Chains A and B, each alone.
Chain A
Amino acid sequence: MKNFSVKKKITLSILFTGLFIGSVVSASVFLYLREALISNQINLLSQVVIEQNHETEQTLANNLLFTKMLATRTKVQEYLEFQTESRRIELDEILKEYHKEDANFLAIYLLDEKGTALISTDSSFVNKDYSFRDYFKNAKTGKITATALWGVTSKQFGYYFSQPIYNQQGKFIGAMVIKTTGEDLTKQVLESELSKQNDIMLVDRYGIILSTNKQGRFLKSLGALTEQEQEEIKSSKRFGDNAIDPLQYNEIQEAVRNYADYRIISIYDQEDSDQEYFFIYRLAGEDLFLVVEAGLENLLVMFSFTLWMVTGLIAVMVLLMSIMVYWLLFKFLKPLYLLREAANQIGQGDFSYKIKTVNDDEFGDLAKSFNLMNGQLKDLYSGMDKKIKDRTKDLNEKNKNLDKQQEAVLNILEDVAVEKKKAESLADDLEKFRLAVDNSSEQIVITDKEGLVLYGNKAMQTITGYSTKEVLGTKAGKLWRLPMPKQYYENFWDTIKNKKQPFIGVIQNKRKNGEEYDAAISVYPIMNSDNEIVYFVAIERDVTKEKQVDRAKTEFVSLASHQLRTPLSTVNWYVEMLLSGDAGELNEEQKKYLAEVYQGNQRMVDLVNSLLNVSRIELGKLAIKPEFLNIAELAQSAVAEQQPQIMQKEHKLITNFVKDAPKLMADPKLLRMVFQNLLSNAIKYTPPKGRIEMKVEYKTKQKAFVITVADNGIGIPTEQCNRIFTKMFRADNVKEADTEGTGLGLYIIKSIIEGSGGSITFQSVENEGTKFTATLPLEGMKEVKGDKSLI
């Protein structure tokens, strides 16, 4: 529809609108006409029916009147009263005369007061008893009767009219009856205009059809009969032996049964499958009813034909109108097509195109204006061509400039993107650091260079119990630090602020809840690129538990040293007393044995002492108390101490101790232990008359002392060289030599030397000798406040 031209759109719109309106009108006309036609037809029929009835009534009345005329004749009265033969013949003649007069008359007969036929034009009736007949019964009660019956004698259907006969005193003496074919009655009805399109029936009060133009309905009841009715009909021999079959019209039957005067009933006739109208009319004063069954099918056929005619006409009209509109539109719009064509031509650059004006109407004006515009456009266009060329040139240049600018901007954007990426990754890194610091299990506090807190992590809150809010801006540690000696603080600030070095120590703190604890603290100065302090970072750890564990360990060592040595002392002293003769004089053998016990016990004491030293070293609780000392003097005293052993083994000892060397910062006890150990090893593991060389040199360049102890002893097996400083290790050849030793000495002195920043090495060839070289830096040992010194 969208693509249709205006012309088509309008035409189609009219077509569809017309069809729609036409349909609605047709439908309305149909509905209205149908009702109107039906009601009109019914009215018409009613009138015809009523008219017909009047005629029928008239005929009935005529017959009754004739009967009355006969009945009221004096001769009839006289005969009935006296019944003379002459009269009988006379009357018989008269009746026969009348009978001949009218072809409708089947019989005329006279009944006595008992209902017996005395005279009859039909001789077979004579002396027959008709008292059972309605017409007699009615006559007896003074009623005039017109009825239709099946003749019991004649076996012929007929209409019976009866009149009662009275004597002078008014007593009932008989009845005059005329039996007719009823043709006079029915003919006019059944052959009327009405009968051409409708079924007409004359029925009695039982609804039994007496006359009809519809075949096969004669002597059938309109609807079902009740048992009582059937009994009555049977007993009155009204229809002889004829069986009365019912039709389907029970409603009509019921109306008749109720003596309806005039009624129109509409029912759906299943037999004919259409709506039917029944007109019921009771003939005046009689037990007869006229029933007209009006089928409307013909009417409706005609009606629908009319409807189709109307609809078809409307459709044709609409179609014609659409065609006309289409043609008209084509006519009107033609100038517009010309305009369109012109616009197309101009659009393609043909400015010379002119519209041929056809009319002088609005379209003509438009065409003129269009032609004018076209001329102006032509002028404009020719000027514009040059302008466009110029402008295009300008634009091209500008575009080039823009491209350059764009490139520059892109470069900048690229740089920005790189920077952004850097910044993002920095932010990422920062975030990582922040998370790490925030969630560290160690307390981390950052202060400015004056020591005012800028930051405290979560661990600070859990360890000290103070919230970040309480801590920020305060002097670091002011809230939780326990007072320390003035000297401590001087050293502290000197280290971090002046020396710009980390401070590491243990201090006493107090939580917000008052609980005291030990904390290992490390404070680091943070410098900027100009080496100026900008922050301090303090990392603290609650070491209360560690200290408790250490104390427990220390206590154990202390107790063990006592407990282990007590029994050794006992053995020592009792052997001593025995050897001293305190328990009596001993023989040589006893003395020798006890001397072995004593020696063994001494070794045990050495072993225990060494073990305790090892345990102290390993606990990290070895106290170092360095002092300035003359290393040569110390070496000399160590030699002097072991002189007896040297003499005993007749070794040759060559010493060379540095003179005028700077004083060394060292713990004399520990350093002595180094000399003692190296020298005693050399003495022990060199066969008698060996050569031992001991040197202490000072290397100015390295600012270090070098201690050398060399011997020509049994040496160390090559394959065991790597285990010589191992705890409890004793080389195989040493064990074979049956010398005393704990296997701990070298381990201890290596620990001492390395703990002092020095080193110890050796060279050895088995059975040729060994040379130990220890290097000690001049700055020497650092003080360590331990709980234990070596024994």
Chain B
Amino acid sequence: MDKIINVLVVEDERPLLEAIKEKLERNNFKVFTARSVDEALARLEEAGIVDVIWLDHYLLGKASGLDFVGKCKEKNSKYSHVPIFVVSNTASDDKVQAYLKLGVTKYYVKAEKRLDEMIVDIRETLAKEGLLKT
């Protein structure tokens, strides 16, 4: 059995959020969910330790995934080390580049990836890069 990984899923679309949560939990993830940037930041505080963040670009409210990443990767941020996987349908090159520049780990185009594919890939990436603290 794989190690339990704490994951924060930030996704505005409810059915997608549920599908992701369901799939992640089935794959031994402990899932926290948020639908906006503010909610996401609050969840981070509540959760204490989050191993990885699953992030969409467009979110509820005005702030987007980019803003959230920006905040997480701030110099004094407690979460700057937390790996972020962007899973979004807004896959224009400039946005992908913007995310990568801010230091996200990977960028998946939502509609082109299967959930299990991504989950496997995330686990492997975390293991390979030694990004899991525990």
Bound CA–CA A788/B90 (angstroms): 11
- Contact check, B16 vs A582: say whether CB atoms are below 8 A apart: no
For B114, the chain A residues whose CB sits under 8 A away are: 572-573, 576
- Contact check, A788 vs B111: say whether CB atoms are below 8 A apart: no
Judge whether B98 is part of the interface by a CB distance below 8 angstroms: no
Judge whether B58 is part of the interface by a CB distance below 8 angstroms: yes
- Contact check, B92 vs A565: say whether CB atoms are below 8 A apart: no
Contact with A along B101-129 (1 / 0, CB 8 A): 00000000111101110000000000000
- Contact check, B93 vs A558: say whether CB atoms are below 8 A apart: no
Judge whether B19 is part of the interface by a CB distance below 8 angstroms: yes
Judge whether A580 is part of the interface by a CB distance below 8 angstroms: yes
Judge whether A17 is part of the interface by a CB distance below 8 angstroms: no
- Contact check, B110 vs A576: say whether CB atoms are below 8 A apart: no
- Contact check, A570 vs B112: say whether CB atoms are below 8 A apart: no
Bound CA–CA A665/B87 (angstroms): 32
- With A570-B15, A574-B19, A787-B92 given, is the CB distance from A565 to B116 under 8 Å? no
- Contact check, B93 vs A623: say whether CB atoms are below 8 A apart: yes
Judge whether B100 is part of the interface by a CB distance below 8 angstroms: no
Bound CA–CA A562/B91 (angstroms): 8
Judge whether A561 is part of the interface by a CB distance below 8 angstroms: yes
Cβ-defined partner of A569 (8 Å) among B26, B58, B94, B111: B111
Judge whether A784 is part of the interface by a CB distance below 8 angstroms: no
Q: By DSSP majority rule, is chain B's interface helix, strand, loop, or mixed? A: helix
- Contact check, B90 vs A558: say whether CB atoms are below 8 A apart: yes
Q: By DSSP majority rule, is chain A's interface helix, strand, loop, or mixed? A: helix
Judge whether A506 is part of the interface by a CB distance below 8 angstroms: no
- With A562-B57, A565-B111, A569-B111 given, is the CB distance from A791 to B91 under 8 Å? yes
Size range of the chain B interface in the assembly: 20 to 34
Bound CA–CA A787/B116 (angstroms): 32
Which A-chain residue is minimally distant from B117 (CB atoms)?
A: A576
- With A562-B58, A580-B116 given, is the CB distance from A573 to B89 under 8 Å? no
- Contact check, A582 vs B26: say whether CB atoms are below 8 A apart: yes
Bound CA–CA A561/B89 (angstroms): 7
Judge whether A568 is part of the interface by a CB distance below 8 angstroms: yes
Name A590-639 residues within 8 Å CB distance of B: 605, 608, 623
For A572, the chain B residues whose CB sits under 8 A away are: 111, 114
Contact with A along B9-46 (1 / 0, CB 8 A): 00001011001101100100000000000000000000
Judge whether A138 is part of the interface by a CB distance below 8 angstroms: no
Judge whether A44 is part of the interface by a CB distance below 8 angstroms: no
Minimum CB–CB distance from A559 to chain B (whole Å) comes to 8
Contact with B along A776-791 (1 / 0, CB 8 A): 0000000000011101
For A791, the chain B residues whose CB sits under 8 A away are: 91-92, 109
Judge whether A275 is part of the interface by a CB distance below 8 angstroms: no
Judge whether B88 is part of the interface by a CB distance below 8 angstroms: yes
- Contact check, A561 vs B115: say whether CB atoms are below 8 A apart: no
Which B-chain residue is minimally distant from A598 (CB atoms)?
A: B114
For B20, the chain A residues whose CB sits under 8 A away are: 573
Bound CA–CA A605/B111 (angstroms): 7
- Contact check, A565 vs B23: say whether CB atoms are below 8 A apart: no
Bound CA–CA A787/B98 (angstroms): 12
For A562, the chain B residues whose CB sits under 8 A away are: 57-58, 88-90
Bound CA–CA A693/B45 (angstroms): 60
Minimum CB–CB distance from A37 to chain B (whole Å) comes to 139
Judge whether A577 is part of the interface by a CB distance below 8 angstroms: yes
Cβ-defined partner of A573 (8 Å) among B23, B94, B109: B23
Name A543-569 residues within 8 Å CB distance of B: 558, 561-562, 564-566, 568-569
Bound CA–CA A788/B23 (angstroms): 32
For B109, the chain A residues whose CB sits under 8 A away are: 791
- Contact check, A565 vs B19: say whether CB atoms are below 8 A apart: no
Bound CA–CA A564/B58 (angstroms): 13
Which A-chain residue is minimally distant from B109 (CB atoms)?
A: A791
A residues lining the B interface (CB < 8 Å): 558, 561-562, 564-566, 568-570, 572-574, 576-577, 580, 582, 605, 608, 623, 787-789, 791
- Extra contacts besides A558-B92, A558-B95 (9): CB < 8 Å: A558-B90, A562-B90, A566-B16, A569-B110, A572-B114, A576-B115, A577-B23, A789-B94, A791-B92
Question: Can you show 8 pairs from A to B with CB atoms below 8 A apart?
Answer: A558-B95, A564-B89, A570-B19, A573-B16, A573-B19, A573-B20, A788-B94, A789-B93
> Which 5 pairs between the two chains have the least Cβ-Cβ distance?
A789-B93, A565-B89, A565-B111, A562-B90, A569-B110
